[in-house]
Amino acid sequence: MCNSNVKSAGVAQIDGRPVLQPAGNRVAAPEATRSLKKSLQKSLSMPASFDNNVAATATTTCAPPRPAPENTRAASLLPPATPASVTARATKVAAEKTRSKATRKPGAVLPVVTFAALEAFEPAAAGSIAAAQREHVAQAQAQRKMRIAHYGRTASFSRVEGRVGATATATAPAAVGDSVPASPTGHDEKRCSFITPYSDPLYVAYHDEEWGVPVHNDELLFEMLTLSGVQVGADWTSILKRRHVYREAFSGFDVDAVAKYTEKQMASLSADFGLDLGTVRGIVNNACRILEVRRDFGSLDKYVWAFVNNKPLSPSYKYSRKIPVKTSKSESISKDMVRRGLRFVGPTVIHSFMQAVGLTNDHLVSCPRHRACSSAAAAGGRVN
């Protein structure tokens, strides 16, 4: 009687003595009436109806029919029987899904709105945007043509360089009011490709009458050497427009007269004609150095033409992009001039000087002036 009371109060006996056991070691008595299924439902905290519905759906749609259990313990683990109405409804839904998949066309897609239909909503807006873009491009091209017209660069080329495109010729900007004088040969499209319908007429005349023609006059050689030096950082068109200013300021480029300019005269020229004082001093210095060249070689003409053995160079360029800004010959001439004390005579300046006075014939072979300058070099005179 005492032992049973002790055991019921949580006290065990070890070697005949009572020992109090902690609560964690106590094991609850098993419940004989609790089934395995109810224990699982309680541990998962799911209602019995949800478990039955899920089991019924899985059994109807996916799982194959299971054989009858062989013992009563396995029978107690199976879910309860699914009603016939639920099974029939699930079977009907599965059949409809299968039938819809079988009847669907492989290339069938949902109808979408085409681009044509979208454009139909706002045709005016789309047209105005395209027109604005075309107008913007046209204005940009016109501005570019006007900018390059001042520098004598090519607006557009065809595949054969030297022929300006017909579109560029037909769409000359209205701002360029002066007309280009006709070429003596009547073939404007065959000029050097840097001459365009938008080039300044003064620059075109210089190309057709002076550029590349052999020069043997000391005053003209001094003039072109000076203009080539002051052209650095500018362009030939602006220099040619101020050509008369330089001629008036430097006594027609008379070497003897310019070499005698005093410091007061140089300051007066700089103020009266708007010329840089350093440039004026450099030109007067070059005149003094040319007098020394005359004493050594007899004339400036003999000095410069001796570098090419009195025969113009003829590279026969086919494309303007092949024309260099300086050559080995211009570098050698520049070094000799610098050694003699001349200023503004770098290799690029000297190459421009050589092109201007005909020491090299850099007209393109497609230009009529190439043949004319070659003939003038053979005759030893100027071309009219």
Q: Is 330 exposed, middle or buried, given 0-12, 13-18 or 19+ CB atoms closer than 10 A?
A: buried
Q: Cβ neighbours of residue 207 under 8 Å, at least 6 residues apart?
A: 191, 192, 195, 369
pLDDT of 379: 74
pLDDT of 167: 32
pLDDT in tens, 23-39: 555 555 555 445 555 55
Question: What are the two backbone dihedrals, phi and then psi, of residue 313, each rounded to the nearest 5 degrees?
Answer: -75, 145
Annotated binding site: 192, 207, 363, 367
Annotated binding site for Zn(2+): 192, 207, 363, 367
3-state SS, residue 161: coil
pLDDT of 176: 32
pLDDT of 217: 95
| 213-381: CATH superfamily | Hypothetical protein; domain 2 (1.10.340.30)
User: Does residue 298 come out as left (phi exceeding 0), alpha (psi in the -120 to 50 range) or beta?
Assistant: left
Total residues belonging to the chain = 384
Residues of the chain with pLDDT under 70: 1-14, 19-95, 97-127, 147-189, 380-384
pLDDT of 260: 96
**Could you tell me the two tokens for 115?**
């681009």
Q: Cβ neighbours of residue 60 under 8 Å, at least 6 residues apart?
A: 82, 86, 87, 90, 91
pLDDT of 55: 47
Cite the beta strand spans of 100-191 per DSSP E: none
Q: Cβ neighbours of residue 251 under 8 Å, at least 6 residues apart?
A: 257, 258
Q: How far apart are CA 259 and CA 278, in angstroms?
A: 15
Q: How far apart are CA 182 and CA 305, in angstroms?
A: 32
User: Does residue 229 come out as left (phi exceeding 0), alpha (psi in the -120 to 50 range) or beta?
Assistant: alpha
**Could you tell me the two tokens for 176?**
């360029």
> What number of other Cβ atoms are within 10 A of residue 300's Cβ?
21
CA 293-298-301 angle, 5° bins: 75
Q: How many angstroms from the chain centroid is the CA of residue 88?
A: 70
pLDDT of 232: 86
State the virtual CA torsion across 149, 153, 158, 160 in degrees, nearest 10: 140
Q: How many angstroms from the chain centroid is the CA of residue 233?
A: 26
Q: How far apart are CA 321 and CA 319, in angstroms?
A: 5
Q: How far apart are CA 120 and CA 123, in angstroms?
A: 6
pLDDT of 378: 77
pLDDT in tens, 4-26: 444 444 566 667 777 666 655 55
3-state SS, residue 76: helix
Q: How far apart are CA 222 and CA 345, in angstroms?
A: 12
Report if pTM > 0.75: no
Question: What are the two backbone dihedrals, phi and then psi, of residue 360, each rounded to the nearest 5 degrees?
Answer: -140, 140
CA 40-46-52 angle, 5° bins: 85
- Cβ atoms of residues 181 and 205 within 8 Å: yes
Q: How far apart are CA 158 and CA 164, in angstroms?
A: 6
Q: How far apart are CA 194 and CA 191, in angstroms?
A: 8
Helix (H) or strand (E) holding 352: helix 347-357
DSSP bridge pairs for 14? 17
- Kindly state the DSSP code that residue 13 receives in the 8-state scheme: E
